[in-house]
Structure 1
Amino acid sequence: MNKVMYLEFERCIGCRACQAACRECGDHDGKERNYVEYVDFMESRQTYPMMCMQCTDPACARVCPANAIQITEEGVVLSAMEEKCIGCRNCTFGCPFGIPKFDFEENKMYKCDMCYDRTQHDISPMCASVCPSDAIRFIDFEEMQELRRRRTQLNLVEGKKPTEQDKWQYVPEFFGVYSD
C-alpha cells in the first residue's frame, strides 16, 4: 500500500460526516472509531478530525499483555482481536493520543484501523471518502510529500514562522496518518 491518510486540520468544518461514515463501515458494529474534537471549545468552534495515527511502533500494541493488537504487513495497526483481548485497558492508557476506546458491554477495545478491509485494496477509508472539505484524504505518499512541500513554501513566502505544531507534521514515526 503506497497510500496514506493525510489530515489538514484547518479544513475541518465540524460536520461529523466522517463519524457517521465510520459507523457505517462493515465491521464497526455501528460504533465510530474516529472523532471530531474542538481545538479550544471555550475560545472557538474550530474542530479537527482525530483518528488512530497508525504508529510504526504503537504503544497500544507494546503494552498489550495478550498480544491482541496486530499490525498488518502494510503497517496498519488493527483493533484488538476479540478472542485475545482480556479487557485490561492497557492500550487505552498507553496510547499518547487517547485513541483506543474500551467497550464495557462487550469487554473489548476498538479503534480506527483505517478501514483495512477497504484500504488493503487501495479504496479510501469511509471517513476520507465522505469528507466534504478534504480535511481527511487517502492519497499517494508522493502526492502527500508534494502537498507538504507546497505548504511549507507558501508559509515561507507569507513569512510565517514554524510553530510547535509544525514540528509534529514532520515526525517520521507515524506510518499512515500525516497531518498539516
Structure 2
Amino acid sequence: MTQYGFHFDGTRCTGCKTCVLACKDKNNLPNELNFRNVYEYGGGSWSQDEGGCWTQDTFTYHVSVACNHCDMPLCMANCPQGAIEKDPDTGEVKSDPEKCIGCGTCTQSCPYSAPKVDTEAMKSVKCNMCAERVAEGKQPICVEACPLRALDFGDIEELRAAYGTDAEIAPLPAASESQPNLVITAPVDAKPVGDSTGAVMNELEIL
C-alpha cells in the first residue's frame, strides 16, 4: 500500500486561492462548497511610545488545506452508516454514496471540516485527492494549478523525507487528533496550534 499525502509550503503561498478555484472548477462545485480552503491567519497590534515612535508585532500568513486522508480518520470512525473507508492501495479516505444518508456526522467529526454535505443530493462529498488523475500518473489539480508551487503531492514517506514531519500550524488542529498525511513547511511568523494571538481573517471564504 502507498499512503499518499500533501505538502504545503507556507513560505511560498501568497494566498491567491488558485488551488481553491481549480478544485471548484474541476469538481463543478457550487458557490457554497469548497473541497480546499485557504486560511488567512493574522493578528498583532500597533503601539506608540512617549516619543511618538510606533512599533508593531503584526503578522499574517496563509494555510492551504483540504482532506488529509488521515491515518485515523474521525469521519470514518464516527460515520453511523459505515459509508466512509480508506482505500487499501492509496490511503484515500472516501465516501460511498450508496451508504451515505447525508447526516453530516462526518463533517462534524473531522477536525479539518474536510467532508461536506451536498444539500441538493444529501450526500457526503469531499476531496478524493483527484484519484483518477493520480491513477494516470498526474498530480491533483490543486497541486498542478498552484502558480507558486506551494503544494506538492506523493507518497507521504517521501514527502516527509524531503520536507520534514511537521503537520501542525495555527489555525489547524493538533495532528495527534487524526494523524493527517500532511507535511507543512511553516511560513514566516507561523504560530503554533492553539495560538490565541491571531484569528482567521477570511471566515466568510471558508466553505
Flag whether TM exceeds 0.5 (same fold). Answer: yes
Alignment of 1:21 with 2:22, yes or no, is: yes
Q: Note the C-alpha offset of 1:144.
A: 4.1
TM-score by length of 2: 0.66
**Does the aligned pair in 2 maintain the 1:36–1:50 contact within 8 Å?**
yes
Q: Which has the higher strand share?
A: 2
Aligned pair 1:178/2:193, yes or no?
no
* Cα distance in 1, alignment partners of residues 178 and 115 from structure 2: 21
Deviation string 1:50-82 (CA, Å, 9 cap, x unpaired) is 11111112000111111111211121112x222
Alignment-derived partner of residue 104 in structure 2: 89
Mapped partners of 1:2, 1:68: distance in 2:
20
Is contact 2:8-2:152 (8 Å) kept? yes
Larger Rg: 2
CA distance in structure 2 between the aligned counterparts of 1:66 and 1:59, rounded to whole angstroms: 14
Q: Provide TM-score, normalisation by structure 1.
A: 0.75
Are the aligned partners of 2:10 and 2:61 in contact in 1 as well (CA < 8 Å)? no
Whole-Å separation in 2 of the counterparts to 1:46 and 1:104: 32
Gaps of 5+ in 2: 45-57, 186-207
Distance in 2, Cα, partners of 1:89 & 1:139:
29
How far has the Cα of 1:146 moved from its partner? 2.8
The corresponding residue for 2:38 is 36
* Mapping of residues 1-180 of structure 1, within 5 Å: 1=2, 4-25=5-26, 28-31=27-30, 32-40=34-42, 46-73=61-88, 74-78=90-94, 80-139=95-154, 141-142=157-158, 144-148=160-164, 165=169, 173-175=179-181, 177-180=182-185
Aligned CA RMSD, in angstroms, stands at 3.0
| C-alpha distance after superposition, 1:27-68 (max 9, x if no partner) | x23354111111137865532201111111200011111111
Matched residue SS, 2:164: helix
- Aligned residue pairs total 162
Contact kept, 8 Å, 1:39 with 1:46, in 2: the verdict is: yes
